[in-house]
């Protein structure tokens, strides 16, 4: 059974701080990793993808991947109240299907 594990949170950070979200996965053969953001009552939307070990930056977001440790993380710099949402880590398995973690709720206080 392929698993994706995330701390459910909530993770509370003050506005302007760095939020660090973490994810581990069990399938060592996984090659593609995604972070989705889901606002309450809305559908998940893709914010970052990463395929190679190391860091990938996009604006205030940085995804980090360490395949040896089977670990993926998402850093959000200069956190804003509008970043308050649940962040879902997803791992691409065979058949191009995504397995999702249960998500980490992020709360950014003004």
Partner 1 sequence: DAGVIQSPRHEVTEMGQEVTLRCKPISGHNSLFWYRQTMMRGLELLIYFNNNVPIDDSGMPEDRFSAKMPNASFSTLKIQPSEPRDSAVYFCASSTGTVNTEAFFGQGTRLTVV
Q: Which of 70, 36, 37 is nearest to 53 (CA)?
A: 70
The site string for partner 1 over 46-85 (x = CB under 8 A, - otherwise) reads: x--x-x----------------------------------
Q: Does position 11 bind partner 1 by CB under 8 A?
A: no
Q: Which residues are CB-contacts of 57 (< 8 A; sequence separation ≥ 6)? A: none
Which residues make Cβ contacts (< 8 Å) with residue 12, sequence separation at least 6? 107, 108, 109
Nearest CB to partner 1, comparing residues 20 and 49: 49
Give phi and psi for 95, each to the nearest 5: 65, 15
Q: Tell me which residue of 65, 107, 72 sits closest to 89, measured CA to CA.
A: 72
Asked if 97 interacts with partner 1 (CB under 8 A), we say: yes
Our finding on whether 25 is near partner 1 (CB under 8 A) is no
Check binding of 103 to partner 1 (CB under 8 A).
Answer: yes
Give the binding site for partner 1 (CB under 8 A).
Answer: 31-32, 34, 42-46, 49, 51, 88, 92, 95-103
């Amino acid at each position: 059974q392929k698993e994706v594990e995330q701390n459910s949170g909530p993770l509370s950070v003050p506005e302007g701080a760095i939020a660090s979200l973490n994810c581990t996965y069990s399938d060592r053969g996984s090659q593609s990793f995604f972070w989705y953001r889901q606002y309450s009552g809305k559908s998940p939307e893709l914010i970052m993808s990463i395929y190679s070990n190391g860091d990938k930056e996009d604006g205030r977001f940085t995804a980090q991947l360490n395949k040896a440790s089977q670990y993926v993380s998402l850093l959000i710099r200069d956190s804003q109240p509008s970043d308050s949402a649940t962040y879902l880590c997803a791992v691409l398995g065979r058949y191009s299907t995504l397995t999702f973690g249960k998500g980490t709720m992020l709360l950014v206080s003004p």
